[in-house]
């Protein structure tokens, strides 16, 4: 199995734009200070979507997630949620206090915060072990959270989000701090969750390793630059408008491949123009 296999079967299973609308953003704007972070954002998250949000640092990706979550309110525009919508959130691994004394089971059960006693009910315990098994971390329930690998930590937070049976799973950079193989496994896992009915929206910095394999994408830079499948969004013109720098996009085995505009770029250019 390699990353391209995922793309092959991932497409088509998650057709975009067909399900009922879960959240609709209309003309949404947000600012923390005088400078706007997001302006004129139009976005509909539909049931069954599996969408990646790409954009440079500071482009408003995390702010968009927070608006979708409802922990931030827009300064302009409206956000319509379908009634009774349950949203699960998976934070960035960097934002977590890894010294906090909490085991995997304790962490996963947190999201059932409405329970009025500390210990889990028999039903909760069964759900907990089923979800941990499903995510491949069934034998780690009593470990401290820091004793897990990056990929396992990420799955623990997915398990926490899944414990409240979310309609929509929001994930902030789920593949950051995770090695190549785990990233690949993560994409498969998310693809399977999506196929089983969970709507997913994630942010990512990784254009080649993650974004190119997702069924639908959103290019964000303070507003929505482009939306659609990888073929429509991972193009030289959209990426240049999104990232503010020229990027070259090649095709390889049916997938767009973005050339890193790093140290290689200058010599290549020089040879071409010279």
Partner 1 sequence: MWDLLDPYHYEFFVRGVLAATLAGALCGLVGVFIVLRGMSYIGHGLSHSIFGGFAVSSVVGANYYLGAGVWGLASALAVNAIARSKKIGADAAIGVITTASFAFGIALISIFGSRGASFDAALFGSILGIRPLDLWVLAGVSAGVVAIIVTRYRALLFTSFDPDVAGAHGVRVAATDALLMLALSISILATLNVIGVTLVAAALVIPAVVARMLTHSFAHMLVLSTAIGSVGGFVGMNLSYHLDVPSGTMIVLTDAAFFVVVLAATSVRRLPDLAVPAPVRAERRIPIS
Letters for 39-68 (x = contact with partner 1 by CB under 8 A, - = none) are ---------------------------x--
Whole-number Å distance between alpha carbons of 16 and 18? 6
DSSP string, 106-133: HHHHTT-TT-SSSSPPHHHHHHHHHHHH
Shortest Å distance, C-beta 88 to partner 1? 7
Residue 197 interacting with partner 1 (CB under 8 A): no
Determine how many CB atoms are found less than 10 A away from the CB of residue 124.
15
Per rule CB under 8 A, is residue 270 in the interface with partner 1? no
Asked if residue 234 lies in contact with residue 211, where contact means CB atoms within 8 angstroms, the answer is yes
C-alpha to C-alpha distance for 190 and 2, rounded to whole angstroms: 16
Residue 59's nearest CA partner among 237, 238, 244, 215 is 244
**Residue of the chain from 11, 31, 185, 232 that contacts partner 1 (CB under 8 A):** 185
- Closest to partner 1 by CB, 136 vs 229, is 136
Q: Which listed residue (2, 57, 113, 273) binds partner 1 by CB under 8 A?
A: 113
- 32 binding partner 1? (CB under 8 A): no
d(C-alpha 106, C-alpha 104), whole Å: 6
List residues near partner 1 by CB under 8 A: 66, 69-71, 87-89, 91, 95-97, 100-103, 106-107, 109-118, 134-136, 142-144, 146-152, 161, 164, 170, 178-179, 181-182, 185, 188-189, 192-193, 195-196
């Amino acid at each position: 199995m390699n990353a391209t296999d995922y793309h092959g079967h991932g497409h088509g299973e998650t057709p975009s734009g067909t399900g009922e609308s879960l959240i609709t953003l209309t003309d949404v704007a947000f600012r923390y200070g005088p400078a706007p972070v997001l302006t004129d954002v139009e976005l509909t998250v539909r049931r069954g979507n599996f969408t990646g949000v790409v954009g440079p640092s500071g482009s408003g990706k995390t702010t968009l997630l927070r608006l979708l979550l409802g922990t931030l309110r827009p300064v302009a525009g409206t956000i319509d949620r379908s009634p009774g919508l349950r949203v699960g959130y998976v934070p960035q691994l960097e934002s977590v206090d890894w010294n906090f004394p909490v085991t995997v089971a304790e962490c996963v059960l947190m999201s059932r915060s409405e329970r009025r006693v500390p210990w889990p009910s028999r039903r909760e315990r069964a759900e907990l072990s089923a979800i941990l098994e499903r995510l491949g971390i069934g034998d780690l329930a009593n470990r401290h959270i820091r004793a897990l690998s990056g990929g396992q930590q990420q799955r623990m937070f997915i398990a926490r989000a899944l414990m409240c049976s979310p309609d929509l799973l929001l994930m902030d950079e789920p593949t950051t701090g995770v090695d190549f193989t785990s990233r690949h496994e993560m994409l498969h896992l998310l693809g399977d969750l999506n196929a089983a009915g969970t709507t997913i929206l994630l942010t990512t910095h990784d254009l080649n390793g993650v974004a190119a394999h997702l069924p639908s994408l959103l290019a964000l830079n303070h507003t929505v630059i482009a939306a659609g499948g990888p073929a429509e969004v991972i193009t030289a013109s959209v990426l240049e408008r999104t990232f503010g720098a020229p990027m070259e996009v090649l095709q390889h085995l049916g997938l767009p491949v973005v050339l890193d505009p790093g140290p290689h770029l200058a010599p290549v250019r020089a040879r071409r123009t010279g």
